[in-house]
A and B are shown apart, each in its own frame.
Chain A
Amino acid sequence: MQQKTETGYFGAFGGRYVPETLMHALEELEEAYERYRADPEFVEELDGLARDFVGRPTPLMFAQRLTQKWGGANVYFKREDLAHTGAHKINNTLGQILLADRMGKDRIIAETGAGQHGVATATVAALYGKQCVVYMGEEDTRRQRLNVVRMQLLGAEVVPVTSGSKTLKDAVNEAIRDWVTNVDDTHYIIGSVVGPSPYPRIVRDFQTVIGREIDVQARERFGREPDAVLACVGAGSNAIGAFHPFVGREDVRLVGVEAAGRGLQSGEHGASLAAGKLGVLHGALCYVLQSEDGQITEAHSISAGLDYPAVGPEHSFLRDEAIAEYASVTDEEALEAFTLCSRAEGIIPALETAHAISYAEKVARELGPGRNLVVNLSGRGDKDVETASEALRVDG
């Protein structure tokens, strides 16, 4: 595997394209991470909290009615929606708060789109008694009011971002500006496998607990590794977490599902791998939605968490090396899967997750009966009920 993670690159992707002011902080973070990832006390503390605070391991559930309905492979759900705060995001924030604590940083900042990462950050900041500031696009603070209130209840300050397109990418810009200004006492908990090195690797490693558990649970449930693992991909943290232990295993198909929004042809989507070009955003070289001139364009998806105009450098690498395959699903298809999963399995999934569920039907049929497919059920859909009810009303 040519993953040059030692120098901050995955093949040609990644790197550290940030202002000089942040370079020392990134070097410090890398050193701290190298030191603590192997420290038994650190690992014990993280594992203990993962168990008692987050509720890990999350179950692997057989989705019986969807399996029957689709008539293909056995469909299993990895229930990250049952993790504390309702999504996989907590795996990363918990690991990073431990790092921040070890590094003596008492102020935590984060960006958030739909609010799931913001809630997960506010949660661990509360747990460790840290000051917490979350940047959120002004548009998103309106669309996701419930999560704004949750963050505030947890003691975080939510700062609406009014620059640029007032959504996730601008919230990241604002978080980076804060970090540049307060780098001495502040740790930036980035929410996905993006940003300058070493973030994509740190976030991946903390999310890899998902894939490790799938590997063990698959053997317990059906005696071998899964034939396919599916996950939705915005910037890509839940997918990398689910995929990573299976990278290099030829018999496991890894399928990432991007947001096709109103259709790839419409230009209104979040499919950076399908329709982006190589570029640099938020410190990393990766696939980016951009104009000819290199201006970053706005992404669109019905799910705020997939509404990001770039994708992590490691996904860029896995796609170009054909180690993982990537597809895309429209808003409409995601909504259908959202309803289907709610009614057939009694689980209201996040709209992000619904993209993976939608595409699972195709993969289940391709694989056929007797094979096993795992969908990473990355989050619960409570936050999306308003968006969904509006969209479904319009549609019929």
Chain B
Amino acid sequence: MTGREDLRAAFSEERAAIMPYLTAGYPTLDGAREVGEAYIAAGADVVEIGVPFSDPLADGPTIQGTTTQALRNGANVDYCLDLASGLSRRVPVVFLVYYNSIFARGAGRFFADAAEAGISGLVVPDLPVDEAAKMSEVSLERGVAICPLAAPTTTEARLATIGAVTSKAGFVYCVSVSGVTGAREALPPGAVALLRRVRSAVEAPVALGFGIGSEAAAVEAAAEADGVIIGSKLMQLVGEGGPEKAGEWLRGVREAVVGVPRPDAWART
């Protein structure tokens, strides 16, 4: 199966997919593996691995803190690939990676190595769909999907551009709020309207991320989104109580989204 197919299969009509994020190399190189194991044990449908970058300009203080620590721990791209390959046989893995990490390795080599590590898709927060077009060939060739982002400020015209590439995408990453990553208690007011707008424009599952920091917000998101991405909140929990604490919280969320009615669920084709 290609990465796109792996990802599509992770989304179901019954309930929203649970998509936890971890920073590779945090809290330690081995500790990050334990975080991944805890996510799988808690029933994660997709695991997002953040590749640490020195200048993560889409991230708020929590994830910045984890990536700074991870870089100090020596988390390089080779390590991130190794971490991914340890998880990717059991759960689809997505890399959250800033563009310079891809560029420095060379897109050809990066996609080849990602495919080798079993990575299904890439989310590149500083690579808008316009600039991503130049990588679509290597993405198809290697079967590693590029998952575009949509934001509250995305215009209808831009949404159409994003929609035009989504037949090749694993999913569309819907950014819930104009801002950086960071846990918030409640779902931002415009998030539901945004999800509906994005869904009507794209032919792919739509996952909601940025700022989902409570079980209540996750449940609210799960009624509208095909997937719920949780990052900063989990990294906070790892910092406070290690992989176990994060896994336990995630299991609660996973249980809470079961049975949430989903009138507009992604219909698998």
Is chain B found bound to chain A in the same assembly? yes
Chain A residues with CB under 8 Å of chain B are 15-25, 27, 163-164, 169-170, 173, 176-177, 180-184, 277-283, 285, 288, 290, 292-297
User: Quick one: closest A residue to B152, CB to CB?
Assistant: A21
What 8 A-B pairs are tightest by C-beta distance, nearest first? A294-B104, A21-B151, A181-B179, A295-B54, A20-B149, A20-B151, A294-B100, A296-B54
Q: A17-B99, A20-B148 are in contact. List 8 more A-B contacts (CB 8 A).
A: A17-B126, A19-B125, A23-B158, A164-B64, A177-B60, A280-B100, A282-B55, A293-B101
Q: Please give, as numbers and ranges, the residues of chain B lying within 8 Å of A288 by CB-CB distance.
A: 100
Q: How far is the CB of A240 from chain B (nearest CB, A)?
A: 23
- State A22–B155 Cα separation when bound (angstroms): 11
User: Quick one: closest B residue to A293, CB to CB?
Assistant: B76
Q: Please give, as numbers and ranges, the residues of chain B lying within 8 Å of A177 by CB-CB distance.
A: 57-58, 60, 179-180
Q: Please give, as numbers and ranges, the residues of chain A lying within 8 Å of B151 by CB-CB distance.
A: 19-21
B269 interfacial by beta-carbon distance below 8 Å: no
Q: How far is the CB of A316 from chain B (nearest CB, A)?
A: 14
Q: How far is the CB of A2 from chain B (nearest CB, A)?
A: 18
B105 touches which of A21, A27, A170, A294 (Cβ 8 Å): A294
Chain B residues with CB under 8 Å of chain A are 53-58, 60-61, 64, 68, 71, 76-77, 99-105, 125-131, 148-155, 158, 175, 178-180
- State A159–B175 Cα separation when bound (angstroms): 26
- State A290–B128 Cα separation when bound (angstroms): 22
Contact A164 B178 (CB under 8 A): no
Interface centre among B71, B148, B158, B179 (most CB of A within 10 A): B179
Contact B153 A280 (CB under 8 A): no
Q: How far is the CB of B208 from chain A (nearest CB, A)?
A: 14
Known contacts: A21-B151, A177-B57, A290-B100. The answer to whether A280 contacts B178 by CB under 8 A is no
Known contacts: A24-B153, A293-B76. The answer to whether A184 contacts B55 by CB under 8 A is no
Contact A280 B57 (CB under 8 A): no
Known contacts: A163-B64, A183-B153, A184-B178. The answer to whether A19 contacts B100 by CB under 8 A is no
B131 touches which of A15, A277, A278 (Cβ 8 Å): A15
- State A169–B77 Cα separation when bound (angstroms): 22
Contact B101 A16 (CB under 8 A): no
- State A325–B144 Cα separation when bound (angstroms): 41
15 A–B contacts, CB within 8 A, in A order: A17-B127, A20-B158, A21-B154, A24-B153, A169-B55, A173-B57, A177-B60, A184-B178, A280-B99, A280-B103, A281-B100, A293-B101, A294-B100, A294-B104, A295-B71
- State A288–B105 Cα separation when bound (angstroms): 14
- State A17–B58 Cα separation when bound (angstroms): 12
B155 touches which of A24, A169, A183 (Cβ 8 Å): A24
Q: How far is the CB of A318 from chain B (nearest CB, A)?
A: 21
Contact B58 A180 (CB under 8 A): yes
User: Quick one: closest B residue to A177, CB to CB?
Assistant: B180
Contact A16 B149 (CB under 8 A): no
Q: Please give, as numbers and ranges, the residues of chain B lying within 8 Å of A163 by CB-CB distance.
A: 61, 64, 68
User: Quick one: closest B residue to A297, CB to CB?
Assistant: B54
Contact A293 B57 (CB under 8 A): no
Q: How far is the CB of B90 from chain A (nearest CB, A)?
A: 27
Q: Please give, as numbers and ranges, the residues of chain A lying within 8 Å of B101 by CB-CB distance.
A: 293-294
A279 touches which of B64, B103, B148, B180 (Cβ 8 Å): B103
Contact B128 A20 (CB under 8 A): yes
- State A16–B133 Cα separation when bound (angstroms): 13
Contact A23 B126 (CB under 8 A): no
Q: Please give, as numbers and ranges, the residues of chain B lying within 8 Å of A24 by CB-CB distance.
A: 153-155, 158
Q: How far is the CB of A14 from chain B (nearest CB, A)?
A: 11
Q: Please give, as numbers and ranges, the residues of chain A lying within 8 Å of B130 by CB-CB distance.
A: 16, 23
Q: Please give, as numbers and ranges, the residues of chain A lying within 8 Å of B127 by CB-CB distance.
A: 17
- State A80–B104 Cα separation when bound (angstroms): 38
Q: Please give, as numbers and ranges, the residues of chain B lying within 8 Å of A279 by CB-CB distance.
A: 100, 103-104
Q: How far is the CB of A109 from chain B (nearest CB, A)?
A: 14
Contact A181 B128 (CB under 8 A): no
Contact B154 A20 (CB under 8 A): yes
Q: How far is the CB of B201 from chain A (nearest CB, A)?
A: 13
- State A325–B86 Cα separation when bound (angstroms): 49
- State A189–B55 Cα separation when bound (angstroms): 20
Q: Please give, as numbers and ranges, the residues of chain B lying within 8 Å of A173 by CB-CB distance.
A: 55-57
Q: Please give, as numbers and ranges, the residues of chain A lying within 8 Å of B179 by CB-CB distance.
A: 21, 177, 180-181
